[in-house]
Structure formats: C-alpha cells, structure tokens
Structure 1
Amino acid sequence: MATSRSECEQQEAQPTSAPPTSTTQLLWQRQANGDAGHETSTTTATTSTSNGKVATAATINSSGTFMKLKTYLLALRPWSLSASLMPTLLGSALAYRSQWAAEFSMLTFFLTAFTVTAVHCAGNVVNTYFDFIKGIDKQKADDRTLVDHILTKDEVVSLGAILYMAGCGGFVLLAVLSPAKMEHLALIYFGGLSSSFLYTGGIGFKYIALGDLVILVLFGPISVLFAFMSQTGHVDWTTMGYAIPLALNTEAILHSNNTRDAESDGKAGIVTLAILIGRTASHVLYALLLFTPYSLFFIFGFKYSLWFLLPLTTLPQAFQIEKRFRNEQTMHMVPKQTAKLNFFFGILYIVACCCAHQLPTFVWRKH
C-alpha cells in the first residue's frame, strides 16, 4: 500500500538512537576512572535511550557539587580540629563547675566553639597556601590540596577569607551575648586570630622554629581561658593550669608532624624545632609531650579524685603511637593518630573535670 507523504514525513521525523551527549560521556569516563563514585544519589532523574538509562546533567551537577564540597571540607584538615575543640570544651566545663555556673549558656558555648573552630580552619587553609607558595609542600607532602591541584590558589585564598569572616561574625555575636567585657574578649580573640595567620603568613613563626611555642600557648591556655571567660565574664588565671595536659598533647601532634617532615623542611630552607634538635632528641621530646599528661593525671587521681584516672585508659594507645614514631616506615601515620588520641584523651579529661567532687588546686589560686 502506498504511504502518504505526511506519513513519510512523520517516519522521517521520528528520532533515532542518538549518540551519548558529551555530558554523558564525561560521566561514563568518570565512572571508568572511579571518580563518579557510589556517593551519587540514585534518586536523580534519568533519561531512557536505546543504550539504556544514563544519568542526566542534573545528576552530574549534583555529584560535582557534592565532590567540591567534600574537597573544601578536606582542605580544612578536620582531623586536626580536636586541638581547638578540646580546650574550648575544657574551658566551658570549668566555667560550669565554677562559682559563676548560674551564668552558663548553651548558646554562648556553641558560639564559642564555632568561633574558635572557624579561626582554626582558617589557619589550616593559610598554612596550606603559604607552605605551597614557599615550595615546602611538594610531591611527597601530606597536604595534597594545592600540590595535586585539587583546589586553585584563588579558591584557597577565598576559603580562608570566608572562614576568617565567619569567625569574626561569631565573635561579634559572642561579644553581645557574653557577660565578659568586649575589650577582654577582643584581646584574646584577635590575638588568637593573628597567631593563626602569622604561624605561616607574614612573620611565619613555623619557619623560624617558633611554631611549637605558638601552638603550645594558643591551643592550650589561651583557648581554655577564652572559653571560660566567654561563659563567666571573669578572668581566672588558674584555668591555664588545667590546660597544661591538653597543651602538651596538642603540641605532640605538631612535633610529630614536623619530625616526619624534617628532611623536606630542611631542603626548603625553613627551620623547625625538630630540625634544630635532631631525630634522637625529637623522639625524647615527643615521648615527654605524650606521656607527661598521664603522669599529671596519676597525681590528680590520687590527690583529688579517682575520676582523673579515666584518661589513663588511653595509655595503651599512646604506647602504640610512640612505637610507630620510632619506626621510619610507620612515622607518616603518627600525626593523625596523635590527633585521634588527643580527641579521646581530651573527652575523658573533660568528663573527669565534670564529675570529680574536687578539682585540682594551684598555688596561685585566691582563697
């Protein structure tokens, strides 16, 4: 039977199996390379073709956005954040146990934690940027953000600026809500913010063997005092005594990192404490930083409250990490493992401070 002209035109107008679009090809290529990952949501819209179901551009954009956010998150070095969170929690716990406990505010607590964490993350980003600019982070570097072009230098700079602005925003709200005098809070906050930048930017304390001192003070006494004062509105210098175990443990994280990178740092022309004292003395110093807090807890436990023996449960893990520190083959794992230890160690210490019937006293406490 003869087919009408209109029917022929309809047949010609019917779509044939089109080759995959360039977007689809990109997705297939990512799947072949393992980059698309299983994290992409299976509920996104799909389009049926003669070759089967393929993800639409919306799927790819969603996956790309998720991966980008994940990249930004990893650039913040979240594994290191216990170094700032633990002193903040400790200062807040001491405020809760103080004579000004009636003024304790959960909103103030969350604002304090947010502000301190934002500044810490910004400092990590600044560290990433300047280590790369100065040629310290190379192919064997632990931080791959700029080395592998995961983020561009402009993206890292923008991320750091956003984090510093977020920290300042949190501080403004904190200053409004806190009973502390704004000038007192501002002195500590902007001192900490400046130190986080100058650690590698500007003066570059890290590059002239002063980085250990900065970290020891900033992520110990200063953070504890800031959190305590934000809650109570009062300055109690004895809080710095409580910060000593956390400060030593946090410094162990940095020292293990600098000891691991001593060779590459030396070739880059910078000076760290680990380079100055050498490998053997670095091992002795790391052991002192790691185990001295346990000696303090042993004394606190028998003199004040058995609750202070609780952090001693992490001692076996500390011995394992110290053993890895002495082995060149396992040395690269030590900084992150020390940070993990710092988290559990700190949590147990804070629990002890909250539950103990009597807290340690220091000779300079006013009666």
Structure 2
Amino acid sequence: ILAYKSTGECSITVFLATLFTALSVHAAGNLVNTYFDYMKGIDGKTSDDRTLVDKHLQPHDVAWLGTVSYFCGMVGYVILVMISPAKMEHIALMFFGGLSSSFMYTGGLGLKYIALGDLVIFLSFGPLTVMFAFLTQAGKLSTVTLLYAIPLALNTVSILHANNTRDMESDKKAKIVTVSILLGKTGSYILFAFLLFAPYIVFVLMGLHISPWLFLPLLTVKDVFNIERFFRSGSLRKVPYMLAQLNLLIGLLYV
C-alpha cells in the first residue's frame, strides 16, 4: 500500500515473491530458534515450543527443514532480483541483513542469549521487513516506512519480553541473559507497559497527521488494558498468547 501510494504502481508478482521470501526466512529463523534452544537445554517441559521436547521431530529434522526454508528464501531473493525494479545491491543488503539476523538470533553469536534478542526482533519484524517489502515494490528506500513499522514491531517485541519475563528463573538456570533478567521484575513491567502502550501513541499521531483510518487500531485498546492487568498480577502464562491475538487484530486494522 505504501509503495502504491508512492509510485502509483503495484506488481502482484513482486508482492507474492516478496511474501514468499519473507515468510521463508522467518520460518527458517523459527526453526533455528527451536533447534538451538533445545540443544542448549533451554526448552523443557514448560516451554511453549514443544516440537523437539515432545519428540514430534528430531533435531536433524528441524535442521533440515531450516536449511530448506533458507534455500526457499534464496530462491525468492533470486526471483526478486530479476523482477523487482530495485537495484540488486539494495535488495541484497536488505535480504542478507534479514537472513543473518534470523540465524544469529540463536545460532552463531546467539544474540538472544546475551540480552540482544529484543533488539534483533524489533529490527527484523519492524524496519527491516517493512523497508524490504517497500524496496522490492517501489524500487527505492524511504524513511517514511520506518514510522509505519514501529507500532507492530513494538507489539511483537512485547510478546518476546512477556515470554522472557515469565521464563526468568529457567533462563537463569540455563545461564543465559535476557533483558528481563537484567531489569528485574519491576523494570520488566515498566518496559512491558511501554511496549504495550507506545504503539497507540503512534497510532494517534498518525491518525491526526496522516489519515483518520489509522485510528482504527485504537479499537483494541480495551484488550491492551486487560493484558496489562494480567502481566502486573504475575499471571504471565496466557500473556504471550493474548499478545499474539492482539498483534493479529492490530495488523488487520492497520492494513
């Protein structure tokens, strides 16, 4: 939509290729996370991701699926280089930046384990993905897209932060460091409140200065206060699921 407003053109083929590429890399990143969390002994009986814990798949199966997903992402990248109006070097910069961050989140440097996971998720699910989609469609970069990326990126990070706050004790035992551990319970609550409510400030500003349609996500504000109460009371088990549902609703209303 942003690219169409900017150029007056929209290619369905480029859109589908971009969607395929982004989803492939995202899936690969999730599989890498599943693999390394299990191999490092972080995932256990109380974990949300029970793919390997419950033996639905074996570690080598997850590794193979991750490889296939990255290969699919590479295929999508090659297609975009051929059909997108953007320069190859610009597409490569955005694509390999996203691919690298999806792997290094838990693989390689393991940024998730040294309190950098929140930053990686914010950049990957926010500016990087949105700017990549805009670039492949419009053929150029625009800083305006960053503003549109911020609300959903913050909401996505809130899911990770809620997970990490809930798992503080088990993460300490696994000898990994998260932002939640560094901040403690009070600091984690303050950060969570910011991640939860800041997007709505952005929506109000965008609704006032860009388009009244951007007020629509405010319809979910009642759910936000409900989630905040759950987090504040320490009932964290359901919070990530509630946030995921909120993320979906905001995304639908945001579009």
- Give the structure-2-normalised TM-score: 0.96
Match for residue 166 of structure 2?
260
Residue 8 (structure 2) aligns with? 101
Aligned positions of 1:319-334 closer than 5 A:
319-328=225-234, 330-334=235-239
* Matching residue within 105, 124, 131 for 1:218: 124
One-letter code aligned to 1:97: K
Q: Aligned residue for 1:118?
A: 24
The alignment partner of 2:142 has SS state of coil
Q: Which runs of no fewer than 5 residues in structure 2 stay unpaired?
A: none
- TM, length-normalised to structure 1: 0.68
- Map of 2:242 onto structure 1: 337
Q: Distance in 1 between matches of 2:62 and 2:5?
A: 40
Alignment of 1:29-68 (within 5 A): none
Cross-structure match for 2:81: 175
1:141 Cα deviation (Å)? 1.4
1:298 Cα deviation after fit = 1.7
* Contiguous gaps of at least 5 residues in structure 1: 1-92, 351-367
Is residue 199–residue 206 contact of structure 1 (8 Å, CA) maintained in 2? yes
Q: Is the 8 A contact 1:108 1:231 kept in 2?
A: yes
Deviation by residue 1:235-278 (Cα, 9 ceiling, x = unmatched):
11221122111221111111111111111111100000011001
Please tell me the residue identity of whatever aligns with 1:338: L
After superposition, where does 1:272-351 map in structure 2 within 5 Å?
272-328=178-234, 330-350=235-255
**How far apart are the structure 1 equivalents of 2:101 and 2:208?**
37
* Partners of 2:8 and 2:161 in 1: CA distance: 36
SS in 1 for 2:238: helix
| Cα drift, residue 140 of structure 1 | 1.6
In structure 2, C-alpha distance between the alignment counterparts of 1:260 and 1:120, rounded to whole Å: 24
Counting aligned pairs with the same residue, the percent is 55
Task: Give me the whole-angstrom Cα distance separating, in 1, the residues matched to 2:206 and 2:137.
Answer: 25
Over aligned residues, Cα RMSD in angstroms? 1.2
Deviation string 1:158-210 (CA, Å, 9 cap, x unpaired) is 11111111111111111111000111101110110011000000100000001
Aligned position for 1:23? none
- Number of corresponding residues: 255
Instruction: Check the 8 A contact 1:101/1:232 in 2, yes or no.
Output: no
Larger fraction in helix: 2
Q: Which residue of 1 aligns with 2:104?
A: 198
Mark the structure with the bigger radius of gyration: 1
CA distance in 2, matches of 1:300, 1:229: 22
